[in-house]
Every structure is written in C-alpha cells, then in structure tokens.
Structure 1
Amino acid sequence: MSQELMLKYGCNPNQKPSRIFMQDGRDLPIEVLNGRPGYINFLDAFNSWQLVRELKEATGLPAAASFKHVSPAGAAVAVPMSDTLKKIYFVDDLELSPIATAYARARGADRMSSYGDWVALSDVCDKETATLLAREVSDGIIAPGYTDEALEILKTKRKGTYNVVKIDPDYRPAPVEHKDVFGVTFEQGRNELKIDAELLKNIVTEKKDLPEEAKRDLIISLIALKYTQSNSVCYAKDGQAIGIGAGQQSRIHCTRLAGNKADIWYLRQHPKVLGLKFKEGIRRPDRDNTIDVYISDEYMDVLADGVWEQFFAEKPEVLTREEKRAWLDTMTGVSLGSDAFFPFGDNIERARKSGVQYVAEPGGSIRDDHVIDTCNKYGMVMAFIGLRLFHH
C-alpha cells in the first residue's frame, strides 16, 4: 500500500491531474489487485463499501451493493431467494453462496441501472460470486478479500482489465472530513450515527405492529439512503432494496421514481413476463431492456412497428394496464425509508400504490399531522426516526 495513487483523469478526461491520497501520512486503505480504477470508480468504491459494511454490522448478514454514479442501484443482504427471483435475476442456473445471493439481489433490484456497475461486498469474494460477476457487465469491485479462485476468474473479465480493489476492513477514517468546491474547502464531522432497530421505536401511527422482517427492511432502506445522493427515497422488501429514487429536487418525485422502479421489479414476476420466449443468443442486457419495454405502455408501439420479432421467438400477449394494476395490487409488506421528512401526504398516497405498509422518516414537517393521518387512512405503520440522512 502507498500514501497516494495516480489516476488516469478525474470525473472527465479533461480533468487532469488526478489522484487519491492520504493527508495524514498513513497509507491508503486499499490495494488495487487488477485493472486501473478511475476517479468515479473510487467514489463508488468508498461509498458502496461503507454501505455494505454498515448493513453487515446492522443485520449480521453478508451484504452487497450495486453502485452507479455514486448512488446505489441496489443493496441487499443474504436472504434466500425464491425460484421466481432466481429466474428474473438470471441466476437460476448457478450455485449461490450467501455473499453471491446478496449481490444477485442487489443487482436484480434494478438491472437496467446496474449495467456497468461498481460492486461492493461486505465479505470475502468467493468463487460463486466471481462466477456470477463474470457474465455481467460491470466496471469493478471492492471487497475485504478474494479467494484465489475468485481472483483468477475476475482477472479474466474485460480482457484482463476488470478493476479489483481490496480494502482493509479495519480501516477507520478521521472523525472530520473535508472536500473542495470551487477552490473552497468544506469541513464537517462524519455522519457516524448508528442506524439500527432502536431508531424505529417512535411509532406515531395508530397501528403499531412492526414485524422483524419490516424492521430489517427499514434498516436496509435507511442505510442505503445514507449513501444515496439526496433527495432520496428507498423501497425495500424481502431483504433488499427494490426501488431507489436518488438526486431529485422534490420528495414526491423521489417517491414516484423509486415507486416506479419497485413496480417494475414486481411486474417482472408477473406470469406473462416469466413466460416470455426470447430468441436464442439474446444477451442479458437486451433481455432486460426488452422486458422493461414489454412492461411499459410503449409495448403497443413495439407491436405496431414489428420490432418484437428482433427479440422474441414468438409474439407475446400484451400485458394490459388493467392486468398490471391488478398484479401490483397484490404487492404487500413493502417498507419505505426517506432521507428527510415527507412534507405532504401525497408521498404516502403514491407509496401505497406500490404495496408500502411500513414507513420510516425523520419527522419534523409542519404537515406531520397530515402525513400521519394519511398513513392511518391506509393502516400503515410509521416511525419517526429523528435523523436526517442527506448525502452530497
């Protein structure tokens, strides 16, 4: 390890010179085992590593994240998957270890956004995870270690240039952090507040029952939000994020964006989607894109243009709006976290359409009473955590 690492360029090719370095004289806490990670790669790596480390500490389960442009496309812990999830995540033909299961879930949350992702694992990368990664389009990975077999597999990706970073799991940063913007240095204390079930005790709705699975999913959503560009909202279910809305200027747009992603995640499990027959040789990214179009209202245009013949072995039946709504109405038990308070009940109205039953948000709006009333209207459970999670 060394105190600095020169990079090819910064966020864009014209931004040179570029490097990462330690100002306190210590060595960097990472070792590049393969490839040449760039500036954005390391932003993804360090944010995603913090996320999975905290998920592991909070839940006791192996955790993984799939990052794009310094926000998670997905985050998950190692909860066993149903056969349906294995099929829609394209892993039904693989042996999956716990850490491989966590990554399959993290990438499966939003496969389109995870295309070309940065991967973070809380545990040592094993052969099963590397085998899964070998056939996906990805930019790199950070983990506390790699088995010999895993490293050998990963070194074959991208013609030998796949970025593999090992991080010291015992590294802890200084309690005060800095960054420069427009030549001005900003300083703040690190956001070290612990996110766990203790935060969920202040339940403000009429309904108070918060099952253990919902607590786990709310913790997953809140930890994911801690490392998501704000404003942000996260829907979670079954041990994983299923829809993340990041970087929006209004909270309702976060809630809609994340809710739409959660809807797509669930619609991918519809029998008509599971029954789609693709042509031989269609690549996984093309399947993801085609499924996304099939689920959307754009599919009628695809039918009219005859484009379906490029991808499908036989013409699929239309999945009507009525069928989609009926299917989405069966989605229940979803948890929703927000990095700041909901200013109006419209966020709850939208969340309900995606099966949300459990909510965690800071509270503190002058309209808290309206938000609580809206939750009561639909029999939801909501906790005020008293903790804002902005990340910029």
Structure 2
Amino acid sequence: MRALISVSDKKELEDFAKFLAKKGYEIVATGGTKKFLEEREIKAISVEEITGYPEILNGRVKTLHPAIHGAILAEKNEDLEKYNLKGIDVVVVNLYPFEKNIGNEKDMIENIDIGGVALLRAAAKNYKRVLVISSPSQYKEVMDAMEKGEINEELRRRYALEAFALTASYDTMIYNAFWNKFYDGMPEHFLYYSKKKMELRYGENPHQRGALYMDGNVEWEQLHGKKLSFNNLYDMDAAWNIVMEFERPAVAIIKHANPCGAALGKDIKEAYMKALEGDPISAYGSIVASNKRIDEEAAKEMKKLFIEVLIAPDFTQDALEILEKKKNIRIIKVKKWKKEGWNLRRIDGGLLVQDWDTKRLEEAKCVSKRLPSEEEMRDLIFAWSVVRYVKSNAIVFAKNEALVGVGAGQMSRVDSVKIAAMKAGDRAKGAVMASDAFFPFRDAIDEAAKVGITAVIQPGGSKRDREVIEAIDENNMAMLFTGFRVFRH
C-alpha cells in the first residue's frame, strides 16, 4: 500500500503520517513535506525516486508525471502491471495558501497551485480505489475508520466530493482576486462559493427544505436556545444591519424583516426601552439586535418580552444567566460581520448581482422655507439611517431618536404614510418622517401634516417636487433632500 503526501498546511500531519506508516503504508512525499516528515523520523520516498525526474522550474513541476498520475488514476491492477506502476492508494493534499497572498501580482501567481489541484482531481475521479484526503480535519475520521476497517465506498465518495469542492472554491478565489485587481465593474463570470453551516428544520415554510450556507465574511456563535430557523436567520440579518448603522448604543426590533422598533440611547437598556415603545404589540416574538454588549440591566428588561433571537457582539455573564432562564430564546454572539463581495438575489433562471448599498448621508439640502431645528435634524438623520432597512415603499416616523411609526411594503407611498400614522397614534405629533424614495404627489405630505409631523427627509427628484415643497411650506414644515434613494425590495 502506498500513500502520497504533499501538503502546505502541516497541522496534525506528524501523527497522521505515523499512523499510516504503522498501518503499513509506504509514504511518497514532495520536497517540503518529505523534509518535514524526515525531521520527525518518519520514512518517506521522494517523488523523484518514483518518476526518475527532478523537480523543475523552482518547484512548479513536481508531481505532473505519468508515474504519479497513472498510479492514482489506474482503476485495475492489470492497468498498473501493464505500465509497470505501483498504485497509490491514499492521496493527502492541501493547496498553496493563495488567500494569504492576494495583493502583489507576482505573489498571487506563484501561489496558484497546479500540481496539488491535479492530484486532488485525479484521486477524486478514481475514488472507488483511491482515498483522497484534502483537509487536516479529516485525519481523525480516517484513522478511526481504518482502525475499524471501515474505509468504505460511501466515505471515499464523500471525501471525493470534498476534494472537488475545494478545487472549485480555490479556482473561484483565484478568478475573483484577479478580476478585482485588474478590472472594474461587474465580473464577466459570476463565481461564488459558500459552505454549509447547518441544516435547518425547514425553509420559509414547513414543506420546504432549508440550510444555511456561509462564505466566511460573517461569523457568529449560538450561545443558547433551540435551532435557528430560516426566517430567524433572515430577520437576524435585517436586525444586525440596522444597529450597525450607529456608533452610539442602538437596538433594533425586527418582525418579518422590517423594524417595528429601533432607537438610540445613553446605554443599551435605554435604547431597548425606547425601541420597544415603538410597537410593543408587534415586538412579541421578534428578533432583537444590539450593537453593544448586553449587560445585566438590559437583560432584565429583555427577559420580560418573548424574543425569538437576541443578537449582540457580547454578553456579560450576569446577562447570560438571566437570559438563559428562558429556554426558547436563541442567543447569538457576533464575531465578524463584513460586507464584502456582492449583494445577491436569486430569481427564477438567474441571479441578480449588485454592489452593497454602502452610500451614506454626507450632506442634505434644505428645500423648505423653514430650516429644521437641531432636534429635528438629529431625528431626521436617525430616521434616514433606519428607513433604508424598511421594505419599499418605506415610511418611518421618528421622535427622540426612536421609531414611533413604520409603513412598509405598500404599493402606494401615501398608504405607507397612513399606516405609519396609525401605528404612531398621538406620538406622531412633533415627530419627523423619512421616505426611502421621492413623493410623487403632495398627498403624503398632507397626510403627514394632519397627524403632526414637523419635518421630512426624502431623496427628491420627482417632477412634482415643487408641489411637494409647497405643501411643506403651507404646513410650516421643514424638508431635506438627500439626492439619492434607498429602495429595499
């Protein structure tokens, strides 16, 4: 029996190689791997001894030879005998760390693995005879299976698929890195890779299958509670994105991907209480996000509400002890959350790809006769930061840096205003209003004025802007134009 080992990542290799040798495998290794093994008194044959040909081109060509690939790809002993080859039964390969060398073109090129990819694909293609091991994380399972004599076809097939996934992800990374370095705009070929993090109980509805796949840009840990659902995860994304808009303590409360509450405060407890006041009825069974660590005082208040998921960058031990008394609450600690790559949306027959919406308000033009007060300006900026996360047509009412009314997902903008007004009730008096896109008519402004809205922020750009501004001035309101819209379909 013979095993070929050629690895960049040598984690746990010593123990695994010793195990293979103990099981009677003759080890063949490439230069760096052979040196590593021999320094640990593990006997290994060099690839050159098999091929009769040295490594060339500064190591660019090591294993690309019929004596290696024939020994892997041969299906039958007769084929090996015909060409005087000794079969390779196990291939242990991982690839040059291309992802650690993105930047300098020369380093990128030198870290494109050729031989390793070829070995993995060859072994994976011939999985019925050859076991391909593409990650140190597989060593333990292999050792356990060999001890039990259970290296069966199912395990071989599963490991072959892992090898194909590795080479696919590797090529995806290379293409995307070179495209981003040398070209602007949308890539000619859209390549994307993600790995399954977990199976879900079901998808959006119980009759649909579901799973979560992640691409490495976001990392979180579940500290408590039952398994997350498809809808929990979707709402978690919306909640976290809102609170990350702010440096000051912020809390968002989400139902069905829309905020029913959001607020800033001097601390997380105050932000939570203000957010909850936005719509305490809808907050039942919600997803709650905080952009700061949740402490004991905030946890005491949060415990009073039925919360499906609570997500934050950290929790004090006292807070965890309070919250974990509620069996069903899912507690999520965020470790990393980066917006990299592209924003993707699936449609039948294709994929819609766009930039992430990272444009933020840097300045706004006052188009009304009356300037907004300092308090109104503060609330307008807050409202504009939140309205971008409400389904369009989106309207939010805000006061004291907290939502008091939301109108989401309506076919006409004036209906969204009416819904926000209904949700706000008397709290609309003295509040401000944000709209994710321009007002096509003055009717929405007139409705807002009726319930006591004093200032408005919107993109502007309608052919009836003059009519809308006149409505603002007639009602002694203030209005800002941002110059860009923030649709969220």
After TM superposition, the score normalised by the length of structure 2 is 0.58
Q: State the alpha-carbon separation in 1 of the partners of residues 329 and 354 from structure 2.
A: 34
1:217 is matched with which residue: 379, 396, 410?
379
Aligned to 2:82: none
Contact 2:261 2:403 in 1 (8 A): yes
Residue 138 in structure 1 maps to residue 307 in structure 2: yes
Residue 30 in structure 1 maps to residue 30 in structure 2: no
Aligned to 2:367: 204
Residue 13 in structure 1 maps to residue 206 in structure 2: yes
Aligned to 1:71: 258
Contact 2:196 2:211 in 1 (8 A): no
Residue 181 in structure 1 maps to residue 347 in structure 2: yes
Aligned to 2:318: 149
Secondary structure class of the residue paired with 1:337: strand
Aligned to 2:388: 226
Q: State the alpha-carbon separation in 2 of the partners of residues 46 and 199 from structure 1.
A: 27
Contact 1:3 1:27 in 2 (8 A): no
Secondary structure class of the residue paired with 2:451: coil
Where in structure 2 are the equivalents of 1:240-255 lying within 5 Å? Answer: 240-255=402-417
Secondary structure class of the residue paired with 2:281: coil
Where in structure 2 are the equivalents of 1:110-129 lying within 5 Å? Answer: 110-129=279-298
Residue identity opposite 1:222 in structure 2: W
Q: State the alpha-carbon separation in 2 of the partners of residues 132 and 181 from structure 1.
A: 41
Instruction: Give percent identity, aligned residues only.
Output: 35
Aligned to 1:273: none
Secondary structure class of the residue paired with 1:165: strand
Q: Which has the higher contact order (CA 8 A, sep 6+)?
A: 1
Q: Name stretches of at least 5 consecutive residues in structure 1 with no aligned partner.
A: 80-97, 267-327
1:46 is matched with which residue: 237, 241, 265?
237
Secondary structure class of the residue paired with 1:111: coil
Aligned to 2:106: none
Bigger Cα Rg: 2
Q: State the alpha-carbon separation in 1 of the partners of residues 348 and 208 from structure 2.
A: 14
Contact 1:21 1:28 in 2 (8 A): no
Per the alignment, do residues 163 and 190 of structure 1 end up closer, same or farther by CA in structure 2, a change over 3 Å counting? Answer: same
Q: State the alpha-carbon separation in 2 of the partners of residues 8 and 214 from structure 1.
A: 46
Q: Name stretches of at least 5 consecutive residues in structure 2 with no aligned partner.
A: 1-194
2:477 is matched with which residue: 354, 362, 380?
380
Contact 2:405 2:423 in 1 (8 A): yes
Contact 2:376 2:432 in 1 (8 A): yes
Q: State the alpha-carbon separation in 2 of the partners of residues 10 and 28 from structure 1.
A: 21
The Cα offsets for residues 193-242 of structure 1, whole Å up to 9 and x where unpaired, read as 123xx333x1111112x223212211221121111111110010011010
Secondary structure class of the residue paired with 2:363: helix
Residue identity opposite 1:207 in structure 2: R
Q: State the alpha-carbon separation in 1 of the partners of residues 395 and 316 from structure 2.
A: 35
Where in structure 2 are the equivalents of 1:268-279 lying within 5 Å? Answer: none
Aligned to 1:171: 337
Aligned to 1:94: none
Contact 2:309 2:330 in 1 (8 A): yes
Residue identity opposite 2:456 in structure 1: V
Q: State the alpha-carbon separation in 2 of the partners of residues 3 and 9 from structure 1.
A: 15
Aligned to 2:443: 346
Q: State the alpha-carbon separation in 1 of the partners of residues 318 and 386 from structure 2.
A: 30
Residue identity opposite 1:143 in structure 2: A
Contact 1:179 1:186 in 2 (8 A): yes
CA root-mean-square deviation: 1.6
After TM superposition, the score normalised by the length of structure 1 is 0.72
Give the ranges of 4+ consecutive aligned residues of structure 1 lying more than 6 Å apart after TM superposition: none
Quick check: 350-359 or 69-78, which moved more? 350-359
Secondary structure class of the residue paired with 1:228: coil
